[in-house]
Amino acid sequence: MKKFVVGNFKMNTTPTEFSSYLDEFLPRIKECKTNVIFCLPATHFHVAKSRLDATNIKFGAQNISCEESGAYTGEISSAMVKDCGANYTLVGHSEARRHFKETLEVINQKIIRALAVNLKVILCIGETKYERATKKTKISLKRQLDTALKGLYENELKNIIIAYEPIWAIGTGKTPNVKDIESTVNDIRAIIADNFTQRSADKINILYGGSINENNFAQFAKIKGISGLLVGGACLNPKSFANICK
Ligand code: PGA
């Protein structure tokens, strides 16, 4: 099964800079056997569409509106994202939750909007430092998954990838150890099995994200039950990101 490597650009680079980035990145990953996905600002979609169409690389948004359309100045709908040629959207990234006060109910609504237009969802979940210190990681992830996936049909899970990103590991240079990730991934599957079926729990793709870089990615990519990586800061360097993807 092909692994996923998702690059989350966050609010970095201009579209022109992204095009130059691709000049460096694309020749380096000609033989790449992973599913590479760029999660980009919407301003970059036209560049992604024209430059990635002839490749196996997909792109997606970093967020979408929970509303379908209407008087929501500044928002971008799932249908708009899809129409630009995107195949994916991140939903529930901890930065969006923190800065834009996204609730779990809103995240659930966003997932429903994305699936309605055939956008695949990369759903980010993770515990805070405090939750981890007080051994509440599993409870926290259960609450996040229960609410975010509420009302979904089991067959819709095939269009959902879960990105396990401990909040304290994002952009901090800190990571959990391999054993902890393995056990959390098992917990995530147990929660999915409770809400849906064991079969779906076994099949769902789970990524790890948080302070992945060129030097540490290999140990995370090898973890049993992990289908790939979500990379933030380190994806901005085309050479490093190409090495991780390869
Ligand atoms: P990071 O970000 O790799 O810079 O820690 C990951 C993310 O925010 O998805």
Probe ligand 1: pick from 10, 208, 231, max atoms within 8 Å of CB? 231
Over residues 74-102, the pLDDT tens digits come to 999 999 999 999 999 999 999 999 999 99
Q: Is the pLDDT of residue 69 over 90?
A: yes
Q: Whose CA is nearest to atom 2 of ligand 1?
A: 232
Determine the distance separating the centroid of ligand 1 and the alpha carbon of 231, expressed in angstroms. 5
Cβ proximity of 9 and 18 under 8 Å: yes
Catalytic residue among 102, 127, 131, 165: 165
pTM for the structure as a whole: 0.97
Determine the distance separating the centroid of ligand 1 and the alpha carbon of 172, expressed in angstroms. 9
Q: Atom of ligand 1 at shortest distance to CA of 233?
A: 4
Of the candidates 147, 141, 190, which has an alpha carbon nearest to the alpha carbon of residue 167? 141
Cβ proximity of 114 and 91 under 8 Å: yes
Q: Atom of ligand 1 at shortest distance to CA of 90?
A: 9
Mean pLDDT of 44-73: 97
Residue appearing with tokens 């590991």 = 169
Give CA separation, 207 vs 31, 61, 113, 151, 223, in Å.
22, 17, 22, 23, 10
Q: Hey, how many other C-beta atoms are within 10 angstroms of the C-beta on 227?
A: 19
CA 68 from centre of chain: 22
Q: Atom of ligand 1 at shortest distance to CA of 211?
A: 5
- Residue 90 in contact with ligand 1 by CB distance below 6 A: no
Determine the distance separating the centroid of ligand 1 and the alpha carbon of 165, expressed in angstroms. 8
Instruction: Note the maximum CA span of the chain.
Output: 49
- Residue 165 in contact with ligand 1 by CB distance below 6 A: yes
Q: How far apart are CA 78 and CA 112, in angstroms?
A: 10
Q: Is the pLDDT of residue 1 over 90?
A: no
Domains belonging to the chain, first-starting first, are: 4-245 (3.20.20.70)
Q: Hey, how many other C-beta atoms are within 10 angstroms of the C-beta on 17?
A: 13
**Known catalytic residue: 75?**
no
Could you tell me where the DSSP H helices lie in the chain? 15-25, 45-52, 78-83, 94-99, 104-116, 129-133, 137-148, 178-195, 198-203, 217-221, 238-245
> Quick one: what percent of the chain has pLDDT higher than 70?
100
Over residues 149-191, the pLDDT tens digits come to 999 999 999 999 999 999 999 999 999 999 999 999 999 999 9
Torsion, Cα of 151, 105, 73, 8 (10° steps) = -90
Band (pLDDT 50/70/90 cuts) for residue 204 is very high
Cβ proximity of 169 and 175 under 8 Å: yes
Sort 160 into a burial class: Cβ within 10 Å, 0-12 / 13-18 / 19+.
Answer: buried
Mean pLDDT of 51-75: 97
Residue appearing with tokens 């979940």 = 125
- Residue 231 in contact with ligand 1 by CB distance below 6 A: yes
